[in-house]
Amino acid sequence: MTKITKEEILKIARMSYLDIHDDEIEPMTQQLEAVLSYAERVQEVARLVNEPSNKQMNVFREDVIVRTDVNPILDQAPDREGNFFVVPAIIDQKKK
């Protein structure tokens, strides 16, 4: 049975770049615990074998430049200046 603390939930949310409101912590915890407690069973069989993972094969191709019109892509941006995406301040001024 996987138990998850409030601190862990907040840590995972931070790692996931997900804001999580106070009233969402409890239902989120329950949902994670239910799925993870079920998923834990992979340990039971996994211990019995020692088979290495399948080797993945890389697929290569020539790195060729294909010219495309960037405007349809840049036009999707919520905020844009010329060929740049505009974002809010990266460093919080108040925390200086």
Partner 1 sequence: MKSLAFATISELQEKLQKKEISTQELLAFFIERFRTHDAGNINSALEVYDPEFILEQSAQHGSLAGIPGLIKDNISQNKCHLSCASKILEGFVASYDATAINRLKKNGALMIGRANMDEFAMGSSTETSAYVKTKNPWDTSRVPGGSSGGSAAAVAAGFVPWSLGSDTGGSVRQPAAFCGVVGLKPTYGLVSRLGLVAYGSSLDQIGVFTRTIRDNALVLSAIAGHDMRDSTSLCVEKKDYTQSLDVKLRDGLRIGVVDEALRFEGMDSDIVSAIEEGVKVFESLGAKIKHIELPTLSYSAAAYFILSRAEAASNLARFDGVRYGMRDMQAKTLSKMYADTRHDGFGSEVKSRIMVGNYVLSAGHSGQFYDNAKVVQNLIRHEFMQAFKDVDILIMPTHPAPAFKFGAFDVDKLQMDLQDYFTCPVNLAGIPALSIPCGLTKSKMPIGMQLIGPHVSEGLLYRTAYAYEQATPWHTMHPAGF
The site for partner 1 (CB under 8 A) is made up of 4, 8-9, 12-13, 15-21, 24, 27-28, 31-32, 34-36, 38-46, 49, 51, 53-54, 59, 61, 72-73, 76-79, 85, 87-92
Q: Please report how close the Cβ of residue 84 comes to partner 1 at its closest, in angstroms.
A: 11
Nearest of 18, 39, 17, 27 to residue 6 by alpha carbon: 27
Q: Please report how close the Cβ of residue 92 comes to partner 1 at its closest, in angstroms.
A: 5
Residue length of the chain: 96
Asked if residue 2 lies in contact with residue 37, where contact means CB atoms within 8 angstroms, the answer is yes
